């Protein structure tokens, strides 16, 4: 990508790879699973051309950033700590704009909850803020609703899904994940994740090229999947750690966008929470919710022009 600068920044005891472009107010782009800084390629190009400094790190465990061995090194505090130290380095004494998708949205909400002093406004995609349920651990809830083949449940046992992914091959895994655009829950039955064999050809959508997929494949072949799946292995640990913040509101100006074919939008109770007042109660400065018709989970890649305009229009009012 032309004009994108890459560097390594030491944060929170690890080396973090950061891509950036442009001058002006900082927009921190926080990617999700199974992605990289590269997932924001369309946004980096567009927003840097409109007078912003686009900063997109590989989160810990991903791409060119270190991947600590211990599962317990991937809690919400570790990830947010990495980003806070990154901001202290690249934008000291400044408030920044934050954009997050998928896991990046979860982390962005945590960042707003822990350090609202760092965030001028937050724009999240796919995953709204969701309050802690004190009655039940997340994995117990998902197992009760979906059963043991649900992807988050299958991710819990260290090494198990990695072995199956290795058997399938990184290219098949990446294509299966990035092209998943049905509203049903993602199920990974043992021995046949995604329902694909390694030899099943996967047709790419118009918004994703073989060349783009190959970038992900190259990086994940090098890093493996353990670090990135460790995020899911900390859902219950995060639930325990977050007890002190139970009932707290996110007090940052926010906007939320989701595709109506996104599997997250169709989780039990999600639409009701988003549209019937729960989301606005927990995020009082939520300015707008946008539901894009016929759009799937990887919304920023599928509809880049629309997303770029929504981000710009939202942040521009705070400049």
Kindly list the catalytic residues: 102, 232, 297
Residues β-bridged to residue 101: 125
C-alpha radius of gyration, the chain, whole number: 18
User: SS3 string of the chain?
Assistant: CCCCEEEEEEECCEEEEEEEECCCCEEEEECCCCCCHHHHHHHHHHHHCCCCEEEEECCCCCCCCCCCCCHHHHCHHHHHHHHHHHHHHHCCCCCEEEEEECHHHHHHHHHHHHCHHHEEEEEEECCCCCCCCCCCCHHHHHHHHHCCCEHHHHCCCCCHHHHHHHHHCHHHHHHHHHCCCCCCCCECCCCCHHHCCCCCCCCCCCCCCHHHHHHHHHHHHHHCCHHHHCCHHHHHHHHHHCHHHCCCCCCCCEEEEEECCCHHHHCCCHHHHHHCCHHHHHCCCEEEEEEECCCCCCHHHHCHHHHHHHHHHHHHCCC
Q: Dig out the tokens for 17 from the structure.
A: 């790879």
Q: What are the φ and ψ backbone dihedral angles of 120, each rounded to 5 degrees?
A: -80, -40
Q: How many CB atoms lie within 10 A of CB 55?
A: 26
Whether the CB-CB separation of 303 and 126 falls below 8 Å is answered with no
């Amino acid at each position: 990508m032309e004009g994108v600068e890459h560097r390594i920044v030491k944060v929170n005891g690890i080396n973090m790879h950061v891509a950036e472009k442009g001058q002006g107010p900082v927009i921190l782009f926080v990617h999700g699973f199974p992605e990289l800084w590269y997932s924001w390629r369309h946004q980096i190009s567009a927003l840097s051309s409109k007078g912003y400094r686009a900063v997109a790190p590989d989160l810990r465990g991903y791409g060119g950033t270190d991947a600590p061995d211990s599962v317990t090194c991937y809690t919400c505090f570790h990830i947010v700590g990495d980003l806070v130290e990154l901001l202290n380095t690249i934008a000291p004494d400044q408030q920044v704009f934050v954009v997050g998708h998928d896991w990046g949205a979860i982390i962005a909400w945590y960042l707003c909850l822990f350090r609202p002093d760092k965030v001028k406004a937050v724009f999240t995609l796919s995953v709204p803020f969701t309050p802690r349920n004190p009655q039940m651990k997340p994995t117990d809830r998902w197992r009760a609703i979906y059963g043991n083949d649900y992807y988050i449940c299958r991710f819990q046992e260290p090494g198990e899904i990695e072995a199956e992914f290795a058997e399938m091959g990184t290219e098949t895994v990446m294509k299966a994940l990035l092209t998943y655009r049905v509203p049903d829950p993602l199920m990974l039955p043992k021995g046949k994740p995604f329902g694909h064999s390694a030899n099943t050809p996967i047709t790419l959508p118009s918004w994703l090229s073989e060349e783009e997929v190959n970038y992900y494949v190259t990086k994940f072949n090098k890093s493996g999947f353990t670090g990135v799946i460790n995020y899911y292995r900390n859902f219950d640990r995060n639930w325990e750690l977050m007890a002190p913040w139970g009932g707290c509101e996110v007090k940052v100006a926010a906007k939320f966008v989701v595709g109506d074919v996104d599997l997250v939008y169709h989780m039990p109770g999600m639409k009701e929470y988003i549209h019937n007042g729960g989301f606005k109660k927990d995020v009082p400065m939520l300015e707008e919710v946008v539901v894009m018709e016929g759009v799937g989970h990887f919304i920023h890649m599928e509809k880049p022009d629309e997303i770029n305009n929504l981000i710009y229009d939202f942040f521009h009012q705070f400049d």
